[in-house]
Structure 1
């Protein structure tokens, strides 16, 4: 079971608690399709960061990646140091950014960042829950957008319908903390930049431009993720999912 161990700043602005999602492509696919993504797209496990034979099994292009990783003290200290230097996200722009205000829902936020950005956005049904969130994202106030997400009863019901599915037992109490976190990587169709999107961070993290023929499974993006793993002393408790064609 994977979720997050929020910082003290994050804890202060949490107003609601969800049961954490398991890092399971089937669970993520079921939920995101309930929310309004076309069934032509799904999540699949990425089984290797550097073995071409295993990466070749994944359909291309990949629309987004979701990384699950341990929130160690080393990681939290690094992120806090980086965020102090960043300006707040003003929005709206080509990147939709949801500030996280629901505890233990970092899997949901990563999923929303994965499908509401990049080329996947065109695969969202116009009358769906996701479409309503995209409409709300036209506000320049990130707190208003966070509140719109938090207040969506349709989203909460859809989430509750899948939150206890998967291979591991979900916590009985939604307020129980677990020590894993989700973050998404997407390519902007507007400027071809790679972004890391994490609702627990201060803003989208611009990781630089990708070539026209590169997607998020390119060596550029995978190299960044390899660096994150290496930065945690090669901790093997990482997993990765890709949003791809069914």
Structure 2
């Protein structure tokens, strides 16, 4: 493999512009804040969901899934790829979902060619092919948050790390499938037409979340839907169209910020502030430092009163 995979955020703007850069047309992602069927239904055409959760690293592998059933035969009839690299799981889940909904989604020339090339491979080789795709990896990495402190290409998870994992759920051939590259096969959750998907997926997700302690809240759910601007145009809802265009502009701005780290800028800014304080004279610099120490002490005292102990 010619390069590593960096970590990307589970973010609607990241996912939307990632697939757009790969050539997918008229599709976007929406973050879901509840497990209400109505929240899914109001999004219109839904192609599937991407679920992010804390992976139970100490959990032993089982021959049967905790929910649903392995469909080993389906692995040859749909696009299912084994996960071969940790940081690629978000993009892998997205691509697996889209490649299985090609009848409904224009996945673009590049992903169509990728599917034609890797589609006949066994799941393990499909995963290797995806992980070694320069196009997919470089597109994925272009949305990673820039950090001067961590080399994600060299980092591997340890037992002490919180490891998070992405999986996809979608309706394929009128069945609800869970596509998890860490499992030996797609997991079937029973009959499900694309129209029934909002009703069928919510109980599956509720059972999944119920496996965790009630204190665990670190989940994220993204719906893969038809571009909401299209529906707004079709029904002549100018207000909604403007809102969606504003969100796109905000996503572009946020994605541009992710490509830069601001450590150098902050360092220069701090040096400028210190210089200005020193030039003021009359002890301005010392007073500024003492005020900062006072605010820090006050913050620590407040945290202690709340029962929070800082290391």
TM-score interval for Structure 1 and Structure 2 normalised by the shorter chain? 0.7 to 0.9
Equivalent runs, 1:48-197 vs 2, <5 Å: 48-50=34-36, 52=38, 54-55=39-40, 58-73=42-57, 76-77=59-60, 80-82=62-64, 91-93=75-77, 95-118=78-101, 122-125=105-108, 127-128=109-110, 130-164=111-145, 171-174=150-153, 175-177=155-157, 178-188=162-172, 190=173, 192-197=174-179
Pick closer, same or farther for the CA change 1:149–1:169 going to 2, 3 Å: same
TM-score, length of structure 2 as denominator length:
0.62
The answer on whether the counterparts of 1:109 and 1:198 sit within 8 Å (CA) in structure 2 is: no
Equivalent in the alignment of 1:27:
14
In structure 2, distance between residues paired with 1:207 and 1:23: 24
Q: CA deviation at 1:118?
A: 2.5
Over 3 Å counting, the alpha-carbon distance change for 1:65 and 1:171 in structure 2 is: farther
Structure 2 match to 1:221: 201
Aligned partners of 1:86 and 1:208: how far apart in 2? 11
With over 3 angstroms needed to count, the CA separation of the structure-2 counterparts of 1:140 and 1:226, relative to structure 1, is same
* Greater relative CO, 1 or 2 (CA 8 Å, sep 6+): 1
Query: 2:269 maps to what in 1?
Result: none
* CA RMSD across the alignment: 3.0
**Cα distance in 2 for residues equivalent to 1:171 and 1:64:** 33
Summarize the Cα distance change of 1:63–1:170 in structure 2 as closer, same or farther, 3 Å threshold: farther
**TM-score if structure 1 supplies the norm length?**
0.77
- How much has 1:83 moved relative to structure 2? 5.7
Q: Where in structure 1 are there 5+ consecutive unaligned residues?
A: 1-13
CA contact (8 A) 1:87 1:202 kept: no
Q: Does the C-alpha gap of structure 1 residues 209 and 171 become closer, same or farther in structure 2, counting only changes over 3 Å?
A: farther
2: CA distance between counterparts of 1:24 and 1:16? 24
Distance apart, 1:156 and its partner CA: 1.8
Change (3 A) 1:176 1:109: same
CA distance in 2, matches of 1:193, 1:233: 29
Q: Which has the larger radius of gyration?
A: 2
Q: Is the 8 A contact 1:67 1:241 kept in 2?
A: yes
More helix as a share of residues: 2
Q: Which runs of 5+ in 2 are unaligned?
A: 228-311
Deviating more after overlay: 84-93 vs 194-203 = 84-93
Q: Write the distance in 2 (CA, Å) between the matches of 1:170 and 1:205.
A: 38
> What is the SS of the residue equivalent to 1:203?
coil
Q: How many residues align?
A: 219
